[in-house]
Structure 1
């Protein structure tokens, strides 16, 4: 995975959708389910990425979490392939160190290729994997001199992207230990160090501990980022995710479209009132005044859409807006159910208000001035 601002993770092979999303979930999804790609539009990871980028303006936090998850995938892939090679057998297996490594790798068990989904078994395997990686430091991490820090930083900035590493079973995508080291350094130099390219705000103690662990202790195991990853996850869960659910699960419009509907609604209502008073003071027939229904309907509909952040007709058709003039089908069953109920309510309010205003100006007696 490239560590630059890579854009929404729509087609990222390293975070492929879960093969069995929970379609029977009779509730809104959790943040972990969204990040694990166990959800469908409009509450999927792609939607959350766009929300964090365009509305929260804090997509760096999400990128950090995804990059740490990718670092975990890289380590899992490396250890899985290493375990496979040990089980097949190596010429050095008679050495004590090789026998010890073999026992440790067998104890870890068969590690999957993708990011951890958070089960107890996987957490135990991840802890064992991190312990193994700490016991087997990367060659480039053995007490590098402080003068080599800038060189390591430049190397880490380009190594992963130039190699195009992915979490794949193909031999062409074999992961070396140096790749894991470069991945850890890249996360540190991109997100955590003061003045870094995409620095995120973390407690100073967390940043200091990670910097010391990577640059001085030579660690690159996934557990080195655990505290920061948990902090970022909790921050997103507390500050961003509730707003995301309100925007995407209870509405189907984005802020620019919502503002545009407010403007159109106010203009239409002004035009409707202006026309109504003109026809009243011209003593026009009630049949002629029925044309007032058109601007009032447009105005009330647009203002209701602005108030509820929801286009009811579009929602009943099963569509939601990702970006301006870009629509996708609602595939999350529970969200579809919620939006249909809210759409019916909004349509009912729209019809009642529109009918009340229209009848008032149609039936009021005219008086020519």
Structure 2
């Protein structure tokens, strides 16, 4: 996974939900801005400073999809028809036929998978382990030299009468994907090492380097651990920022500074005008600094710019906005915006009435 946010087609919400989304729905690309995967990636990168965990999750999910694609294409080739198979290949063929149609549903943590998906993933991992042993065995090498069409380990070598498109995933691609994840995220001193319990890292390293495994089950424990860590430590803050507000910390700090300066300027001008015994008409200008100050301070306090929220905009990087498309979030922010505007108007009116109507006295 590159350092940049994932570039994918705009997701579509799979059902109208009258609640905030879960982390699994966000990672599965089943949510819309401002609580989509792109926004979560930006949050993990800029605010949480732990985007490597999300990249690890996305790479493991991509590895799972790669394995499914490989097995799906291989199963299709086997079902179309192959020559006589040796006993090991027949076992592999039996596993393939028992898999059924592998869907391309988004890979997720084991606690969210249905029993059917768990069974399919377990069968797929079992096939990939047997397929690796078949591919690595000396007998299999001899068989491939004598009968190239009987090898089940490399889809590109299968000769079938299928009219389906050529295979795009080879067995070595799966191996390379597993090693890339290991060397990028898990080994001590890796380029983007993530912090996991030592036992998990050791088990994954041993399985890949010593036993040569590359099936998806190798990463199951690490994937679930990372998911739970993001769900516990990062996702609540993401929802607070994106579903209950529409501003990011840098611009919130800027609004705090502008609000404090405006309030200071308003109080300073108010006392000057009072002690110079200026008319109430002249003191009406105090509405300007007080309104700006109260509005900016309220935006900082609630992490929300109510005007931008009412027109459906949410900030994802400084002064860059995206349109809110998640219906429940938009309704929620609209209600909060009305409340923030009411508080702003009430405080602003109180300050203006106090300093405009109070009698002046020239010192």
User: Where in structure 2 are the equivalents of 1:1-369 lying within 5 Å?
Assistant: 3-5=1-3, 7-9=4-6, 11-12=7-8, 21-93=13-85, 95-113=86-104, 115-116=106-107, 118-137=113-132, 171=165, 174-369=168-363
Give the secondary-structure state (helix, strand or coil) at the position aligned to 1:322: strand
Unpaired stretches in structure 2, ≥5 consecutive residues: 139-163
Cα 1:108–1:262 change in 2 (3 A) is same
Partner of 1:156: none
Deviation string for 1:239-294 (max 9, x for gaps)?
A: 00001100100000011110000011011111111111111111111011011001
Q: Distance in 2 between matches of 1:303 and 1:173?
A: 59
Cα 1:236–1:276 change in 2 (3 A) is same
CA contact (8 A) 1:138 1:218 kept: no
Compute the displacement of 1:172 (Å): 6.2
Q: Distance in 2 between matches of 1:345 and 1:239?
A: 29
Deviation string for 1:297-346 (max 9, x for gaps)?
A: 00000000000000001111111111111111111111111101111110
Cα 1:124–1:279 change in 2 (3 A) is same
Cα 1:346–1:138 change in 2 (3 A) is farther
Unpaired stretches in structure 1, ≥5 consecutive residues: 144-169
CA contact (8 A) 1:314 1:320 kept: yes
CA contact (8 A) 2:45 2:51 kept: yes
CA contact (8 A) 1:141 1:218 kept: no
Give the secondary-structure state (helix, strand or coil) at the position aligned to 1:102: helix
Q: Distance in 1 between matches of 2:10 and 2:89?
A: 37
Q: Distance in 1 between matches of 2:222 and 2:321?
A: 35
Partner of 1:154: none
RMSD: 1.8
Cα 1:342–1:59 change in 2 (3 A) is same
Cα 1:139–1:292 change in 2 (3 A) is farther
Which moves more between the two structures, 124-133 or 297-306?
124-133
When the two structures are aligned, how many residues end up with a matched partner?
334
Give the secondary-structure state (helix, strand or coil) at the position aligned to 2:316: strand
Cα 1:173–1:60 change in 2 (3 A) is farther
Give TM-score, length-normalised by structure 1: 0.87
Give the secondary-structure state (helix, strand or coil) at the position aligned to 1:137: helix
Give TM-score, length-normalised by structure 2: 0.88
Compute the displacement of 1:96 (Å): 2.8
CA contact (8 A) 1:23 1:333 kept: no
Q: Distance in 1 between matches of 2:19 and 2:196?
A: 32
Partner of 2:155: none
Q: Distance in 2 between matches of 1:312 and 1:234?
A: 33
Compute the displacement of 1:21 (Å): 2.0
Q: Distance in 2 between matches of 1:172 and 1:300?
A: 64
Compute the displacement of 1:4 (Å): 3.8
Compute the displacement of 1:97 (Å): 3.0
